[in-house]
Structure 1
Amino acid sequence: MMEQLDASHLRCPQPLLEVKLWLKSATCGQQLCLVLADPGSQRDIPAYLKRIGHGVTVVTQTSHRLELIITKHS
C-alpha cells in the first residue's frame, strides 16, 4: 500500500524536511503520494528529488495544489 503525505497545510521548508525523513526510512521501490500547496515547495521538491535520483510523477497540478508520486531509487 502506498503511503500518503498531505503537506498542503505546511509551508516551506517543512514539506521538504518531511520528504527527507520519509526517504531515510523508505526502501528502494517504495512510493509516497505527496500533496503540496506551498508554491516554493511545489517548485523545489520535484527538482530536488530528480537531482538526487528519485522518481517523480505528477498526478495533478493546479496553481494551488500539486500531487506527486515519489518513487525511491537506491
Structure 2
Amino acid sequence: MHYDYEVDATGLKCPLPILRCKKGLNEIKSDEVLKIIATDPGSKKDFDAFCRQTGHELLSLQDENGVITFFIKKRRLS
C-alpha cells in the first residue's frame, strides 16, 4: 500500500504507539497516509478507537508474526 510517512513504534507499549502516531500525523497533509509499525498487541484496539475518536481513517491493519502494520489516512481539516 502507498504511504507518505512511516513511524516505527516497535517495542513500545501503550500509550507510546498512539503518541508516535499523533506526531507522524502532524508531519503529513490531509488525505495522506501514515504507516505505523507496532508490536504491542493492545495497539489493535487502541488504533481502532483512536481513529474513530479523531476522524482519521484506518485503511488497513496487518498482523504478521506479532508485527502489526497500520495504514491511517489523515482526515481533512475543515
* Structure-1-length-normalised TM-score: 0.79
**Poorly superposed stretches of 4+, deviation over 6 Å:** none
RMSD between aligned alpha carbons? Answer: 1.9
Amino acid in the other structure paired with 1:21: K
Q: Distance in 2 between matches of 1:21 and 1:30?
A: 14
Over the matched positions of the two proteins, sequence identity in percent amounts to 27
**Structure 2 gap ranges (5+):** none
Q: Distance in 1 between matches of 2:20 and 2:34?
A: 11
Which residue of the partner structure matches residue 70 of structure 2? Answer: 68
Shift of 1:63: 6.4
In the TM superposition, what are the counterparts of 1:1-74 in structure 2 within 5 Å? 2-62=4-64, 64-74=66-76
**Structure 1 gap ranges (5+):** none
Greater helix share, 1 or 2?
1
Shift of 1:58: 1.9
Does the Cα contact within 8 Å between 1:12 and 1:38 map onto a contact in 2?
Answer: yes
How many residue pairs are counted as aligned between the two chains? 74
Q: Distance in 2 between matches of 1:39 and 1:59?
A: 12
Does the Cα contact within 8 Å between 2:6 and 2:24 map onto a contact in 1?
Answer: no
